Amino acid sequence: MASTMCVKIGRLGLRTSRLEVNQTWLRRAHTNQQGKENILKSYLQKVLDNPLPIGAGALVVGLVQWRRIRKRNEAQLEHEAPKVLDEKDWQVSCYKTLPLRHFSRLWGFVNDVYLPVWLRSTILGGYARAFGCDLSEAEDEEIKNYANLGQFFRRRLKASVRPISEEVLVSPCDGKVLHFGPVDVPTGLVEQVKGVTYSLNTFLGSYFASSPHTMPLNLEDPEAVVEDEAPRVLHQCILYLAPGDYHGFHSPVDWTIQKRRHFPGELLSVHPRVAGAISKLFQLNERVAYIGKWKHGFFSMTAVGATNVGSIKVPMDEELSTNQWKWEQRTFHQKIFQDVEVKKGEYFGEFNLGSTIVLIFEAPEDFQFDLEAGMPVKVGLPIIKPPVVKEDVTESKSA
């Protein structure tokens, strides 16, 4: 009887011990669960307190993923000749109905969202790594000093990293050569990429009827030249700025600005693949053309807007306001300058993201570009071949 009681007591003690162990484990599990819940609540509270920076981070991640997908698609379509679409084709019409202007304004809003210091290395650093931004060239190399994406996009460069060549014509921006060459003056057509054109008349706004204008003065007589002037040829050069490039643009020559024409328009992508697929792309998009003259005659530099690049800023032109809610089609807003002198290499303006610069200018017949399609360019580097120095035959014979 006594032994039976001992066994029962032992079993009861064992059950009690197991119960205590279970209770202890449950208390610990409950404590751990509470700790995890507190961490989760704290994180959610941070998200709720700072929704815009988190959203900006998500946007950067989305941009990186989009870039990877774009590269994959480009690799797949590398050997396929894309069909060139006209602005009247249904694909382009559908593309134009997208609220790209609103997207661009939203992107501009996100650009100005204040980023807490603890988020800047993640978001701005992630963007810099994804698009190959070289911070060692920036005046301020410390990424935590940029309060938002906009400040980072508009960062200035050290003067020493972009020396200005002594050649008369230099690159106005960092980017990639999209196309270059002479303009077909009789037809008034310009190639945006090889085989895909846009109208010079529409691009610069009644160009041949404006002043200053290029030669020939009379479209019906393309051989006509100005008396006592050496024959000149109209040239064009298109440079594409990618999202990772320096977003400022500079004066490519010493010239005199006489007018500005702002053309409200679409904000379609100007990526080289799109430029090769949609004709008249540059005359469809919003753009700001500065028109004047240089040592060889007519000169113009045009900043072309694009998706998420509705904002074009030019310090000397404070009245300029791009990407407005409402805009008139097939018109432009003109401002006349009193012969504003601009020096080669001088800072001119900026985009909020990558876009395109188009140079259209007169030059002597022996003018030659020192470029190749697709090659990278940097601000201040020469984009023409040095002039050939001709020997004086008379002097050499007498010698």
Q: How far apart are CA 201 and CA 205, in angstroms?
A: 6
> Residues with Cβ < 8 Å from 225, sequence gap 6 or more?
215, 216, 231, 232
> Residues with Cβ < 8 Å from 183, sequence gap 6 or more?
189, 190, 200, 234, 235, 236, 360
For residue 330, give the DSSP letter: S
Q: Contact, 286 vs 310, CB < 8 A?
A: yes
State the catalytic residue, choosing from 247, 250, 271, 296.
250
Q: Contact, 239 vs 177, CB < 8 A?
A: yes
Cα–Cα nearest to 249, from 336, 193, 315, 333: 315
Active site residue 136: no
Active site residue 355: yes
| H/E stretch holding 53 | helix 51-76
State the catalytic residue, choosing from 174, 235, 245, 300.
174
State the catalytic residue, choosing from 104, 171, 311, 355.
355
Strands of the 248-250 sheet, one edge to the other: 248-250, 347-351, 312-313
Active site residue 250: yes
Provide the annotated active-site residues. Answer: 174, 250, 355
